[in-house]
């Protein structure tokens, strides 16, 4: 039986295109049918690949390979999620928190994928709706975060936030982030939110530059519903889902965020503590300020990202 993979990359970058050609060639040689997004097929210039388009591009595939930074992985997740296909990210960008492997592990990652030597974990997502006067005007979802932000740079956003149907607080702010544990190291982190291990099931609420006595980031239950209500006398707001899908939120608009119906399935090539990933991605100083002193103890483990074999 033929095996199929979808390949998503950032063809605007020359190195990404070259690496994508290598991966596609290796997969074809291993007997895979390789699909590529139709808009990227011409830039890849690879014979034997199958251009696909539309939300069903990953249907029936065994894996979705995403080569690039977190933006490319988020784009690939849009195709992998509805098809319930595992996403394998290979980081060609800077941080790449969503990626399972780095560029130096490219060949090994493909070998493990071909040999089916990987496990699959499910990442919690959020479903988002925008309502106005009781009518749903927009629906979307997010893997990292849904953020409601001010639509006018010179004006403050005025909102009330409810949790589980009960009023929590009013904020004059730049915005409010509703994030998943996966997104806790992204936008929510830069706004002062906590880092949450991906295995924790929870939703995060992080106000952005709030003028309020109580403006702490909150961690709610995964079953919680978070509602952001734009003041009817305030300017319109903007909803961003993973920074990719954008929707206008009118005054008196109601943005509701709850646990997503579908998770994103992520392929893992090798069990790896999240602590090691955190140390490697953020370059945390585990050795301490006395690392060069003769009398300082050896750190327990400074190798945060061992190579794949």
Burial class, 303, CB count within 10 angstroms (exposed 0-12 / middle 13-18 / buried 19+): exposed
Alpha-carbon span 62 to 263, nearest angstrom: 17
Q: What are phi and psi of 240, to 5 degrees?
A: -115, 130
Contact 201, 237 (CB under 8 A): no
Question: Which of 239, 222, 235, 225 has its CA nearest to residue 130?
Answer: 239
Q: Produce one character per residue of 116-132: b if its CB has 16 or more CB atoms within 10 Å, e if not.
A: eebeeeebbbbbbbbbb
Contact 183, 142 (CB under 8 A): yes
Beta strand segments in the chain, E: 3-9, 32-37, 50-52, 63-68, 87-91, 101-102, 119-123, 126-132, 135-142, 145-150, 157-163, 166-173, 175-179, 203-208, 218-220, 226-230, 237-241, 245-249, 254-259, 264-268
Give the residue ranges of DSSP H helices in 147-297.
187-190, 274-282
Question: Which of 96, 115, 49 has its CA nearest to residue 104?
Answer: 96
Q: Which of 15, 70, 107, 127 is catalytic?
A: 70
Alpha-carbon span 309 to 303, nearest angstrom: 15
Known catalytic residue: 70?
Answer: yes
Question: Which of 299, 279, 273 has its CA nearest to residue 288?
Answer: 299
Active site residues: 70
């Amino acid at each position: 039986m033929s095996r199929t993979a979808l390949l998503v990359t950032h063809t605007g970058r020359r190195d990404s295109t070259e690496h994508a050609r290598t991966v596609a060639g290796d997969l074809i040689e291993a007997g895979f049918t390789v699909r590529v997004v139709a808009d990227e097929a011409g830039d890849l210039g690879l014979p034997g690949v199958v251009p696909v388009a539309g939300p069903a591009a990953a249907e029936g595939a065994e894996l979705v390979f995403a080569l690039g930074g977190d933006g490319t992985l988020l784009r690939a997740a849009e195709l992998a999620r509805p098809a319930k296909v595992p996403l394998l990210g290979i980081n060609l960008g800077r941080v790449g928190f969503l990626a399972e492997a780095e560029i130096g592990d490219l060949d090994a990652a493909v070998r493990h994928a071909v040999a089916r030597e990987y496990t699959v974990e499910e990442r919690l997502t959020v479903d988002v709706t925008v309502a106005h006067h009781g009518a749903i005007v927009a629906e979307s979802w997010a893997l990292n975060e849904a953020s409601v932000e001010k639509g006018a740079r010179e004006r403050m956003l005025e909102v009330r936030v409810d949790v589980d149907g009960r009023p929590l607080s009013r904020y004059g702010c730049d915005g409010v982030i509703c994030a998943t544990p996966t997104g806790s190291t992204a936008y929510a982190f830069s706004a002062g939110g906590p880092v949450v291990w991906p295995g924790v099931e929870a939703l995060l609420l992080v106000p952005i530059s709030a003028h309020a006595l109580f403006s702490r980031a909150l961690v709610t239950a995964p079953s919680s519903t978070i509602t952001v209500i734009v003041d009817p006398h305030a300017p319109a707001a903007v909803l961003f889902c993973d920074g990719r899908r954008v929707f206008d939120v009118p005054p008196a608009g109601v943005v509701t965020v709850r646990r997503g119906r579908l998770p994103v399935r992520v392929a893992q090539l090798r069990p790896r503590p999240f602590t090691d990933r955190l140390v490697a991605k953020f370059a945390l100083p585990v050795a301490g300020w006395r690392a060069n002193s003769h009398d300082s103890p050896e750190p327990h483990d400074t190798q945060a990202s061992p190579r794949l074999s």
